Amino acid sequence: MTVDLPLLPRPLILDGGLATELEARGFDLKHKLWSARLLLEDPGALSDVHLAYLRAGAGCIISASYQASVDGFMALGLSEAEALALLDLSLQLGRDAITRYSEECRPAVRPLLAASVGPYGACLADGSEYRGHYHLDQAGLYRFHRQRFLRLAAGGADFLACETIPCIDEALALNRLIAETASPAWISFSCRDDAHLSSGESIEQAARALAGNAWLFALGVNCTAPGHITALIDRLRSAWSRRIVVYPNSGEQYCAATGRWQGTRSPLEFAAAASTWWQHGADIIGGCCRTGPAHVAALRRALA
């Protein structure tokens, strides 16, 4: 597994929210496995969404393994071997989309595939990835992640994307796996404000704790309000010399009382903010919740 991200005059553009686009296409994802459920029920839909993001201008897509876990699949009655095969499928669907896009559009540079490694809280499906207060210590988090991480690391993606990590302990557990497998990877955090991880720890503290692993080629932020991103980049840059990745939410606010998203953040507004993130030092830019192909297309135009 290798990753080749040379110095570029413009940032690498990521995809947007996988679940967001699936819901826009009519899929009901109210399930503990979220979009990973479609690995079982409609894998072609996942590949189609990957392709939509590539057509919109993404130079990197992220696999549908964020909320996938061996335990989660086995709870549905699958065997361990069948669960592991679904992790493999998540990567194959990404490769298939890249092949389809490459044959269709003949890009000068072949798009990249990142294997998504979601946080422990995503598999609990209780929102704890936005709090970071787990009942597991660092050793327990290492054990939780190990089987899935090893399978994804061996699956032929360009690198691993450890996403929405809320606390330093979980980042350190993943960092250990990154080093042990010699796998190029990034770690991106969920943040509560413009200075702190969801756990309350400072982002500078997190960067310093992870600085010794050369296989960790980028740190950053995802699934966070876009208004916090510029300050987080500045703080991260003060403690981190390698690449910075940011892919925040659209800017809409989720209302738990109504179960609806409120407010608007147009793709053009999102892309305008992204130009500032690039100027402040972000090397890899995309979108997370409530962003879709229109946001990626706007990013491509604004950052071209």
Give dist(CA 112, CA 217) in Å, integer: 15
Question: Was 288 annotated as part of a binding site?
Answer: yes
Of the pLDDT bands very low, low, confident and very high (cuts 50, 70, 90), residue 1 is very low
For residues 61-68, average pLDDT: 95
Establish how many alpha carbons lie within 13 A of residue 187's alpha carbon, considering only the half-sphere containing its beta carbon: 32
Give the CATH number, domain containing residue 61: 3.20.20.330
7 assigned to some structural domain: no
pLDDT at residue 257, as a whole number: 64
Instruction: Provide the b/e sequence for 59-93 (b: ≥16 CB within 10 Å).
Output: bbbbbbbbbbbbebbeeeebeeeebbebbbbbbbb
Question: Given this model, what pLDDT does residue 37 score?
Answer: 84
Q: Which two tokens stand for residue 231?
A: 């300050």
Domain holding 33, by residue range, is: 12-303
Residue given tokens 């399930």 in the structure block: 31
Residues 84/145, Cβ–Cβ less than 8 Å = no
Residue 154 resides in a domain: yes
Q: Residue 33: CB partners within 8 Å, gap ≥ 6?
A: 67, 68, 72, 73, 76
Which helix H or strand E contains 284, and what residues bound it? strand 284-285
Task: Supply the pLDDT for residue 2.
Answer: 47
Average pLDDT of the residues in 15-21: 96
Cα separation, 124 vs 143, in Å, equals 15
The total domain count for the chain is 1
The predicted model gives 184-203 an average pLDDT of 98
**Residue 3 banded pLDDT, cuts 50, 70, 90:** low
Pull the structure tokens for residue 285. 């830019």
Which residues touch 92 (CB under 8 Å, ≥6 apart)? none
Query: Is 5 part of any domain?
Result: no
288 close to 249: Cβ distance less than 8 angstroms = yes
CB 188 within 8 A of CB 162: yes
Residue 33 in any domain: the answer is yes
pLDDT value of position 163: 98
> Which pLDDT belongs to residue 76?
85
CA 165 – CA 282 distance, rounded (Å): 18
Please work out, in degrees rounded to the nearest 5, the angle formed at the alpha carbon of residue 220 by the alpha carbons of 216 and 223: 130
Burial label, 43 (beta-carbon count in 10 A; 0-12, 13-18, 19+): middle
When the pLDDT of each residue in the chain is averaged and rounded to a whole number, the result is 93
Q: How many residues does the chain have?
A: 304
Read off the tokens for 254: 């989720």
Answer whether residue 6 is part of any domain: no
Domain annotation covers residue 3: no
pLDDT tens track for 113-133: 999 999 999 888 788 888 888
Identify the pLDDT of residue 4: 58
pLDDT band at 157 (very low <50, low <70, confident <90, very high): very high
pLDDT at residue 262 tops 80: no
- How many other β-carbons are positioned within 10 Å of the β-carbon of residue 36? 29
Tally DSSP H helices, then E strands, for the chain. 12, 10
- The predicted model gives 268-288 an average pLDDT of 97
CB-based contact 157:127 (threshold 8 Å): no
Exposed e or buried b for every residue in 125-134, given b needs 16+ CB within 10 A?
eeebbbbbeb
Burial 147-176 (b: 16+ CB within 10 A, else e): bbbbbbbebebbbbbbbbbbbbbbbbbbbb
**How confident is residue 285, by pLDDT bands cut at 50, 70 and 90?**
very high
Per-residue pLDDT averaged across 67-95, rounded? 93
Q: pLDDT above 70 covers what percent of the chain? A: 94
In a domain, 2, yes or no: no
In terms of pLDDT, which residue wins out, 266 or 263? 266
- 289 among annotated binding-site residues: yes
Q: Is the pLDDT of residue 8 over 70?
A: no
- Is the pLDDT assigned to residue 237 strictly greater than 60? yes
pLDDT higher than threshold 60 for residue 57? yes
In a domain, 104, yes or no: yes
The token duo for 199 is 């756990």
Average pLDDT over residues 206-210: 98
pTM of the model: 0.94
> Mean pLDDT lowest for which of 27-36, 231-240, 273-282?
27-36
Write out pLDDT tens, residues 97-108.
Answer: 999 999 999 999
Q: Is the pLDDT of residue 35 over 90?
A: no
